[in-house]
Amino acid sequence: MAELPSNVHLTLHPNFLRIRGPSLYKDDKHRTWLHFVLEKGGVLQVRLLQEDIPNGHIDLTTRPETSSSMPSRWTLQLGNQYLDTMGRFWRIIYHIKEDGVEEMMLELINNS
């Protein structure tokens, strides 16, 4: 019989995510997160994958397109949302751990 993947919904989110390099954020527990920008029907979404990257491999310079289009920091607010450094709110669509890999999807709230 085939094993089913373990898919666990997480409710303990990082307190903050701070940009550390191109496509890379670091959280309050010093874990690194790769981010991928998506646009669905005119709505901006960011997919974050937690992946351990050794400090020596992190490029501390950000590319202009990364720094201008993405916030330098997200801070967790009450409820399931983050406030970014540009004053915008992002809803947490999901935060799961599947087969040992943590993933989070954020969506920009249009009226923020």
CATH code (residue 74): 2.40.15.10
Give a yes or no: residue 31 inside a domain. Answer: yes
Domain presence at residue 63: yes
Entry field: residues in the chain: 112
Overall number of domains in the chain: 1
- Is 1 contained in some domain? no
Nearest 5°: the CA angle 79, 48, 78 is 10
What the block records as the tokens of 73 is 């920091």
- Over residues 10-40, the pLDDT tens digits come to 889 999 999 988 789 999 999 999 999 999 8
Residue-number span of the structural domain to which 49 is assigned? 7-102
Kindly state whether residue 77 falls inside one of the protein's structural domains. Answer: yes
Low-confidence ranges of the chain (pLDDT < 70): 1-6, 54-68, 111-112
Cα–chain center distance at 54:
18
Rounded to two decimals, the pTM is 0.80
CA distance 18 to 29: 11
C-alpha 11/C-alpha 94 separation (Å) is: 9
Measured between alpha carbons, how far is 35 from 37 in angstroms, rounded to an integer?
7
